[in-house]
């Protein structure tokens, strides 16, 4: 079995499904990948310690957003569960500083199902979501290193966040295709160059090293999943590429593939 890549993608809000360009970019990306045996999803929208494994069978989605039209709360994505993958995650993290618990009722949140619905619309690939137990980049990198063997088992590891994410500075008047504010463009360009150079030290210290970091990420939960994906590629580095770029209402939707 070929080694699967790991991804960090910008997942968008529920209206991503209404954006024909972004939807097509995600669908084309998935089509270019080997078909995964399962997807292990780490979303910015689930922070819980200790590290928690979500449902291992199909349960209702988590509609973790407010104020949208009713139709966004009627979306379903009934992907199969992956109990075997939950056991593998537990085994790979055993003996470390991250005890693993299980929440059998916790379904996929919008950071997981929104992009997956564009990438695998038939919902026929098993999915397991795990929580972010910390926002510390170094610890998340190490979690990724421990989970890296899953890539050799056909598992697509996906960190789902947003390369820039400041909703207090979000300006809908820009329109989905409008030019980005300077803080978003500067951080996005830095992230692109720094990831391409695999400057892990700079990435780990992005709050101090990146331009406009405190504006681009007032909280860091949307950049945090990058470190899990990157961590899976530290010991056996493969090709790194930015697969999607551009902006959505001024927010950088840049997305990376490792391996």
Bridge pairing between strands 255-258 and 240-244: antiparallel
Mean pLDDT along residues 37-53: 98
Q: What are phi and psi of 160, to 5 degrees?
A: -115, 115
Cα 32 to Cα 243: distance, rounded to the nearest angstrom: 11
> What are the pLDDT digits (tens) for 119-152?
999 999 999 999 999 999 999 999 999 999 999 9
Instruction: State the virtual CA torsion across 92, 26, 23, 69 in degrees, nearest 10.
Output: 10
For tokens 């101090």, name the residue: 208
User: CATH classification of 6-178+218-258, choosing from 3.40.50.300, 3.40.50.150, 3.40.830.10, 3.40.630.30?
Assistant: 3.40.830.10
Phi, psi of 251 (to 5 degrees): -90, 140
> What are the tens digits of pLDDT across the range 169-207?
777 787 888 899 999 999 999 999 999 999 999 999 999
Q: Is the pTM for the entire model greater than 0.85?
A: yes
Supply the pLDDT for residue 2. Answer: 82
**Over the stretch 61-99, which tens digit does the pLDDT of each residue have?**
999 998 889 999 999 999 999 999 999 999 999 987 888
- Say which residue the tokens 């400057």 belong to: 199
Query: Mean pLDDT across the chain, nearest whole number?
Result: 95
Q: Where are the domains of the chain?
A: 6-178+218-258
Contact criterion met (CB below 8 Å) for 64 and 110:
yes
């Amino acid at each position: 079995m070929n080694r699967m890549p790991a991804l960090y993608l910008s997942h968008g809000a529920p209206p991503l499904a209404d954006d024909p360009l972004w939807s097509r970019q995600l669908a084309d990306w998935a089509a270019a990948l080997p078909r995964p045996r399962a997807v292990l999803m780490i979303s910015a929208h689930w922070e819980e310690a200790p590290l928690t494994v979500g449902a291992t069978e199909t349960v209702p989605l988590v509609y973790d957003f407010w104020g949208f039209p009713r139709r966004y709360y009627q979306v379903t994505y009934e992907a199969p569960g992956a109990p075997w993958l939950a056991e593998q995650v537990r085994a790979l993290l055993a003996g470390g500083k991250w005890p693993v618990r299980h929440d059998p009722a916790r379904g996929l949140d919008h950071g997981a199902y929104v992009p997956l619905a564009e990438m695998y619309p038939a919902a026929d690939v098993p999915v397991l979501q795990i929580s972010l137990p910390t926002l510390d980049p170094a610890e998340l990198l190490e979690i990724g290193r421990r989970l890296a063997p899953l890539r050799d088992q056909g598992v697509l590891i996906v960190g789902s966040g947003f390369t820039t994410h400041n909703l207090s500075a979000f300006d809908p008047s820009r329109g989905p295709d409008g030019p980005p504010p300077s803080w978003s463009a500067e951080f996005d360009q830095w992230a692109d160059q720094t990831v391409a150079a695999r400057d892990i030290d700079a990435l780990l210290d992005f709050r101090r090293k990146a331009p406009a970091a405190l504006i681009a990420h007032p909280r860091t939960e949307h950049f945090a999943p990058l470190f899990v994906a990157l961590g899976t590629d530290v010991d056996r580095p493969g090709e790194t590429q930015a697969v999607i770029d551009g902006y959505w209402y001024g927010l950088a939707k840049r997305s990376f593939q490792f391996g």
